[in-house]
Every structure is written in C-alpha cells, then in structure tokens.
Amino acid sequence: MNKLLRHAVCGLLALGALSCARHTIIPDSELALIFRDAFLANAYISNENIRTDSLRIYEPIFARYGYTTEDVYYTIGNFSKRKSARLGDVVERAIDLLEAEGKVYNREVAILDTIDNVAQRTFTHTVYADSLIRVSSLRDTARLSFTFDVVPGEYTVSLKYLIDSLDRN
C-alpha cells in the first residue's frame, strides 16, 4: 500500500510539473523575423487607416512562428537579464531584413517598369492627326470633338494648336 501511495504521489507531482505553463525564450533570429512581420503589418495598417486592437494583429504573427503573446513578453523581459544580447540588435536585424527585401522588390519593379516603357515605345502609334483644324480663339477649343473606337489599352490625348496673341479671346 505504501509503495502504491508513493507511485501515485510521484505520478501526481510529475503530472503537475508537466502541466505548469512554461514560457519559451524565443531565439534572436526568430524574434527578428517576428519583428519584421510586425513592422510590415503596422505599415499596412497605418497606410490603410485601419483601426484595430494590436493583439488582433500580432497574435496571428506569433502563432505563425509557434509562440504566444506571453512568450514574446517573457522573451523581451528576459533581455535585461541576458548580458550577451541586446534588443536593439534584434530590431536592427529586422530592419536589415526589411531593407534587403525592399531591394529585391525595387529591382523587380524596375524590371517591370523597363518592360512597360519598352512596350509603350514599341506599340505607341497616333490614332488621329489633323493639321487642318482652325482655332481662332480659346473658345473654339471647347467645341472640338473627336470620336474613336475604344479598344483596351492606354491612351494619351494631346492637342497642339497655335492662337495668335492679338486675337480677342
């Protein structure tokens, strides 16, 4: 009986020790990735003028990496106890990640802009040109009317005309 009681007490103690919620210290590299995602979420929300609770934004980010809000609080609070780590270094690493990602996107946008410019120069053509339009005053420009069949694409409408400076407008 004494042996059975001792096993039961040991089992309860082991179960109690396992059931205690222990906070996890997030490695610096993963914390930098979490900060990077949080910076991106903040930038998007401030750009779109969305008003929401910050926990609704950050909790899914923490969950994506397998952590809870308490784990993040515990890790940030633990930085003051760690001699070798500084929170500023982690934030700088997150900023470096964002800048590197920004450079990649800037390169891709430059390539797409180049493709657009080449396509625009190659396929731009004049749809209508008339050198016989007579404009004697600025009021006449309001009466100009042109009709074209519209096809998908990008249009630039420009009119060039000269008005004698001695004319009464």
Assess contact for 40 and 13: CB atoms under 8 A: no
Assess contact for 68 and 62: CB atoms under 8 A: yes
Q: Structural domain tally of the chain?
A: 1
Instruction: Identify the residue whose tokens are 């493709």.
Output: 115
Assess contact for 100 and 125: CB atoms under 8 A: no
Reported as a pLDDT band with limits 50, 70 and 90, residue 34 is very high
Q: Tell whether 43 is covered by a domain.
A: yes
- The residue segments making up the domain with residue 88 are 19-123
Q: Is 74 exposed, middle or buried (0-12, 13-18, 19+ CB in 10 A)?
A: middle
Residue 97 has pLDDT above 50, yes or no: yes
Residue 67: its pLDDT value, please? 94
Residue 20: its pLDDT value, please? 53
Residue 162: its pLDDT value, please? 67
Q: Tell whether 167 is covered by a domain.
A: no
Greater pLDDT, 4 or 35: 35
pLDDT in tens, 45-85: 888 887 877 778 899 999 999 999 999 999 988 887 877 77
How many CB atoms sit inside 10 A of residue 159's CB? 9
Q: Tell whether 67 is covered by a domain.
A: yes
Q: Tell whether 102 is covered by a domain.
A: yes
Q: Tell whether 32 is covered by a domain.
A: yes
User: Can you state the percent helix, strand and coil of the chain, rounding each to 5?
Assistant: 60, 0, 40
Residue type, 66: G
Residue 6: its pLDDT value, please? 58
Residue 18: its pLDDT value, please? 45
Q: Tell whether 142 is covered by a domain.
A: no
In percent, the amount of the chain with pLDDT more than 70 equals: 82
How many CB atoms sit inside 10 A of residue 36's CB? 19
Q: Tell whether 132 is covered by a domain.
A: no
Residue 4 has pLDDT above 60, yes or no: no
Greater pLDDT, 99 or 78: 99
